[in-house]
Amino acid sequence: MKTQSLVNAAVAGVLGLSMVGAANATVVFGDGGAALQGVLNNITNVTPANPSGNSSVNVVTDQFSPDQTWAITGSGGSISTLIIELAGFANGNSFGVYDLANPANSVQIFAGAQGAGSQASLAILADGSVVVNFADTGIDFASGNAFGFYLNVSDTGNRWHSNSALNIDGLDHMAAYQGNDSDVIQIPPFSAGVWTSSEYVLAWEDLEASVSDRDYTDFVVIVESVKPIPEPGILALLGLGLLGMVGGRRFTKA
């Protein structure tokens, strides 16, 4: 019965997705992108190919879209590493993933104020079980390996989603940037390495549109072993996920 409930929920979620819309718009910075560009420049190393040490990623022109729906790649798990958190609400902010079929069904990855370099792992099993830091959270996603990211701001009671259609103010609160396989970046205490195309920086604005400064530096995290999913690919991925959940439940019963 649990499997059938997950299937029904996933179908409802897919229908909901088609109703709320697809790709997010490009974010418009209140400071022209200066603050976030500084964050990327600060983690970029000087190399012979990049003597300036500035990021080759331009935060205004290199925004990745669509960025509302994501999946873990075939490696089986994803690592999130916090770059910086500058929000006044840092102690009450939390970051995680939500179920496409039911955005209220979510799993927290980071909680409260975290220092740069904090890490957490995320995996989603074939039956929809969500695993954080190698421990089963007890929460299943009906959408399986297709999810959105969120930033929760407990001080204001707002939750911002990677899909801006779910945000009460309609603002796109997250800008995404893909690595280009050339910049060498370093997030202390880790050693430097190439920012690869399988890694994405997610930059968040935590204030509501009416009072936001829109600098998108309130919570900046790099997520590896993930990929964004265009809307046409969501249906196919959900279909595969549902087959996996059904097969996994049958195998367990056997």
Q: How far is CA 193 from CA 89, 109, 110, 184, 186, in A?
A: 31, 23, 23, 5, 7
pTM of the model: 0.84
Helix (H, G, I), strand (E, B) or coil at 244: helix
* Predicted pLDDT of residue 235: 54
If one counts every other C-beta atom within 10 angstroms of the C-beta of residue 127, the result is 20
Confidence check: pLDDT of 16 > 80? no
Within 13 Å, how many C-alpha atoms sit on residue 176's CB side?
A: 29
Tell which wins on pLDDT, 113 or 199: 199
pLDDT per residue over 94-134, tens digit each? Answer: 999 999 999 999 999 998 777 889 999 999 999 999 999 99
Residue 75 above 90 pLDDT?
A: no
Q: Which residue has the higher pLDDT, 79 or 237?
A: 79
Burial class from Cβ neighbours inside 10 Å (0-12, 13-18, 19+) for residue 106 reads buried
- Comparing C-alpha atoms, which of 49, 77, 37, 82 is closest to residue 187? 82
Q: Select the more confidently predicted residue: 180 or 85.
A: 180
DSSP string, 138-195: EEE-TT-S-EEEEEEETTTTEEEESSGGGSTT----EEEEE--S--EE--TTSPPEE-
User: What count of other Cβ atoms lies within 10 Å of the Cβ of residue 19?
Assistant: 8
The predicted pLDDT at position 151 comes to 96
* pLDDT per residue as tens digits for the range 218-245: 999 999 999 999 865 455 545 544 444 4
Instruction: Kindly report the average pLDDT of the chain as a whole number.
Output: 85
For residue 216, give the nearest of 112, 122, 87 by alpha carbon: 87
% residues pLDDT > 70 (the chain) = 80
pLDDT at 59: 98
